[in-house]
Each structure stands twice: as C-alpha cells, then as structure tokens.
Amino acid sequence: MINLLPPQDKYALAQELRLRAVGVLFGVIGLCALLFLGFLAIVRISLSEQIHSYEALADSFAQDFAKESELASIVKETNRQLISVVGFYESQSFVTSVLDHISYALPSDMNVTHVTYEAPQERRLGKQVVQDPGKITIRGFAPTRALLVEFTERMNSDPFFQNVSFPPSNWASSVNVQFSMSSDLAP
C-alpha cells in the first residue's frame, strides 16, 4: 500500500517516521539523563553524609588528641617534679650522714651553734671531670679545752672528714671556748 502513495505522501510519512524516531531517541536520552542526574544526586547526598561523619570523627580525634596532649604535659610536669624531689632526698641523705658523723664525734657537753655544708661538685678541666669534695664548717661552744681536744681527736680519726682544720684562736681560752673548724668531706 505504501507503494501506491504519491511521492509527496511517502516523503511526509518518512519525515513523520524520522520525527517519531528522533522524539523517542531524545525521550530515551532525556530519561537516561534524568536517571543519571538522580544517581549523581544520591551519590552526592551519600558522600556529603560520609564527609560530615568523617569530619565529626576527625573533631572527636582532635579533642581526644588535645586531651592526651594535656595529659602528656601533666605527666611530663609530674615527672620533672618527681625527679627534683628524688634529687632533693638523695642530697638530704648525704647531709644526714654528715650530721651523724658530727654528732658521733661531738662530746655530750659540747654544743654546735652553726653548721655550713657545701655539697660535693663536679667541674671540668678541659676534657677531664674533677670532683671537688664537699666542705663543712662548724662553730660551737665547749665548756673546757679538754672537750675541744677530744672533739678534735675524734674528727681527725674519722675517715669521713679530711683536712680537718681548727684555727689557733680556739686554743686561747681554757674554759667557755667558742670554737670553729672546717673540713673537707671524703668522696
């Protein structure tokens, strides 16, 4: 039947057929584009939710890290304080030992009125480290010169004290002696 149609009608039918094909093609392409845009919107929403979730997680980690940093600084400060306390107590034990030796050497009727203690120190001479001995200076009162002689003998016989020195002015009076002495401490 189509063969019987005049050429103008054939041409119009072919144009209509092409127009329908192009319309269907654009309709399918438009539908695909809408579906693709919908898919992209869903992906974008999903990704934005994940980004928001990861940002919240990163903020949580940052807060935890800040808390840990604060705790770490507190721990470091506490350790520094403990080290200084330990150093203080270590030096106190040596001072206690010095005072024990003095009290052992001191006769019971004598009194010590002043004690000066200089801790041992290290110093460098070029590449070599030299240990300076600690020093002690004592002032006090002895009722008699005989007690001062006894104290002098005990101090000289104690290996803890080295280079014990009593100035000559200690021996000027025989009673109510105000004395002083100095000594290096054994390393």
Residues 41 and 78 in one domain: yes
Per-residue confidence (pLDDT) for residue 1, from 0 to 100: 47
Residues 41 and 101 in one domain: yes
Residue 128's SS3 state is strand
Residues 57 and 138 in one domain: no
d(CA 22, CA 11): 16
Sequential DSSP letters for 162-175: EEEE--GGGGS-SE
Residues 133 and 148 in one domain: yes
List all residues 6 or more positions away from 116 whose beta carbon is below 8 Å from its beta carbon: 136, 137, 138
Q: Count the alpha carbons within 13 Å of 109 in the hemisphere toward its beta carbon.
A: 12
- pLDDT tens digits along 135-160: 999 999 999 988 899 999 999 998 88
Among 105, 138, 164, the domain boundary falls at 105
The strand pair at 111-118 and 121-125 is best described as unpaired
Question: How far, CA to CA in Å, does 32 sit from each of 21, 83, 127?
Answer: 16, 74, 85
d(CA 81, CA 75): 10
* Neighbour count for residue 183 (Cβ, 10 Å): 24
Residues 44 and 136 in one domain: no
Amino acid at site 13: L
Among 88, 105, 122, the domain boundary falls at 105
Among 57, 87, 105, the domain boundary falls at 105
Residues 115 and 99 in one domain: no
Residues 90 and 36 in one domain: yes
Residues 14 and 85 in one domain: yes
Residues 52 and 101 in one domain: yes
- pLDDT tens digits along 68-104: 888 888 888 888 888 887 776 666 556 778 888 888 8
Q: 30 pLDDT exceeds 90?
A: yes
d(CA 36, CA 28): 12
Which of the 8 DSSP states describes residue 186?
Answer: P
> Residue 42's pLDDT band (boundaries 50, 70, 90)?
very high
Per-residue confidence (pLDDT) for residue 129, from 0 to 100: 80
Residues 159 and 170 in one domain: yes
d(CA 137, CA 150): 18
Beta carbons of 110 and 141 less than 8 angstroms apart: yes
Residues 38 and 5 in one domain: yes
Per-residue confidence (pLDDT) for residue 100, from 0 to 100: 85
Residues 94 and 128 in one domain: no
Per-residue confidence (pLDDT) for residue 89, from 0 to 100: 67
Count of structural domains, the chain: 2
- Find the domain containing 63 and state its range: 1-105
